[in-house]
């Protein structure tokens, strides 16, 4: 593979982007019809957000960039802020941020704010799992044709799998930096280490002729510069999310109910207990990875002929 063949850093080269909606109201309503099928209570939460004006989804002139879910402590409502412009990414972002919002609803009954401060390793399980729990119902939202739907789901699963190897590069690089502080103060040695790790974890993408670009990828990874050892959390959370998704493929109602129960605990129990309650293992071991990657590959294979 050449870099432009690899899908792990966005769209495949020269593939026109899917345009799932043109008006923000379509995005809002589309998500509403998805959540109705995921779970009645989660759907009620989402409708409450619409009613209470807790969604600011569309891009407009002078609006601050970014997308996030925040929590309003007095009204006990989550608030989703984003800049939708009609892309597939916007659909994924709304589903993701809604997962955070549902976490806020479920844990809002806890008496102390500190109990709602869930660490990243589980907070992102709530959001990443929602992207996956919603994925079987994406077709109901009117965003995609059948072929586009298959492509959107394949891209989502492929990027989930390939994210782990990239996460491994970033994490291993940070370990090297903090274990070798003298070498890590020398940009040339940093570049060499980065390339070594990219070749170790992502050996199948051939950057011949683009060595400089390959090396410069590390400059775009802000976590390395701003948040020591912060990146592995996404990988852990994604493994949790994919275990919940695997449960849902067997028993949607049971998986969602365990997910909601875990969200309602906030941070009143340790991480392994949060995962366990959600029906997952807090782990990064071979067996669990193999199980969910095999499942993702099966679903990709089922979807791919349609593409
Ligand atoms: Zn998130």
Distance from the alpha carbon of residue 96 to the mean position of ligand 1, in angstroms: 6
- pLDDT tens digits along 284-295: 999 999 999 999
Crossing angle between the packed helical segments 120-134 and 88-107, to the nearest 10 degrees: 120
Q: What b-and-e string marks burial along 119-158, b requiring 16 or more CB atoms within 10 Å of the CB?
A: eebbbbbbbbbbbbbbbbebbebebbeeebbbbbbbbbbb
pLDDT at 12: 56
Distance from the alpha carbon of residue 290 to the mean position of ligand 1, in angstroms: 24
Distance from the alpha carbon of residue 208 to the mean position of ligand 1, in angstroms: 34
Confidence of residue 307 (pLDDT cuts 50, 70, 90): very low
pLDDT of 9 strictly over 50: no
Tokens coding 16: 């026109």
- pLDDT tens digits along 109-163: 999 999 999 999 999 999 999 999 999 999 889 999 888 899 889 989 998 998 9
Distance from the alpha carbon of residue 142 to the mean position of ligand 1, in angstroms: 25
What size, in residues, is the chain? 307
Model pTM score:
0.92
Nearest to 127 by CA among 155, 96, 156: 96
Distance from the alpha carbon of residue 128 to the mean position of ligand 1, in angstroms: 7
Confidence of residue 67 (pLDDT cuts 50, 70, 90): very high
Beta-carbon neighbour count of residue 46 at 10 Å?
Answer: 25
Confidence of residue 217 (pLDDT cuts 50, 70, 90): confident
pLDDT of 7 strictly over 60: no
Nearest to 255 by CA among 220, 289, 279, 219: 279
pLDDT of 11 strictly over 80: no
Beta-carbon neighbour count of residue 29 at 10 Å?
Answer: 15
Distance between CA atoms of residues 20 and 149, nearest Å: 10
- pLDDT tens digits along 239-253: 999 999 999 999 999
């Amino acid at each position: 593979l050449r870099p432009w063949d690899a899908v792990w850093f966005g769209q495949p080269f020269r593939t026109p982007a899917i345009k799932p909606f043109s008006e923000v109201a379509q995005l809002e309503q589309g998500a509403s019809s998805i959540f109705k099928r995921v779970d009645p209570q989660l759907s009620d939460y989402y409708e409450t957000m619409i009613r209470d004006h807790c969604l600011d989804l569309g891009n407009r002139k002078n609006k601050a960039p970014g997308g996030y879910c925040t929590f309003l402590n007095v009204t006990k409502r989550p608030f989703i802020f984003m800049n939708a412009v009609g892309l597939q990414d916007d659909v994924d972002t709304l589903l993701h941020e809604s997962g955070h919002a549902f976490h806020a609803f479920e844990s809002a009954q806890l008496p102390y704010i500190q109990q709602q401060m869930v660490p990243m390793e589980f907070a992102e399980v709530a959001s990443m799992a929602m992207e996956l729990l919603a994925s079987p119902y994406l077709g109901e939202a009117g965003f995609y044709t059948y072929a586009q739907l298959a492509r959107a789901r394949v891209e989502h699963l492929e990027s989930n799998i390939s994210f782990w190897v990239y996460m491994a590069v970033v994490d291993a690089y940070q370990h090297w930096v903090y274990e070798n502080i003298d070498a890590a103060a020398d940009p040339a040695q940093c570049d060499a280490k980065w390339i070594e790790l990219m070749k170790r974890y992502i050996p199948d993408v051939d950057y011949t002729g683009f060595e400089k670009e390959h090396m410069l990828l590390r400059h775009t990874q802000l976590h390395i510069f701003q948040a020591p050892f912060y990146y592995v959390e996404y990988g852990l959370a994604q493994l949790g999310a994919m275990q919940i998704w695997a449960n849902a493929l067997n028993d949607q109602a049971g998986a969602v109910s365990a997910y909601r129960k875990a969200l309602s605990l906030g941070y009143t129990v340790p991480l392994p207990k949060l995962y366990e309650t959600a029906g997952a293992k807090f782990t990064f071991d071979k067996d669990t990875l193999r199980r969910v990657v095999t499942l993702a590959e099966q679903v990709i294979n089922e979807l791919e002929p349609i593409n």
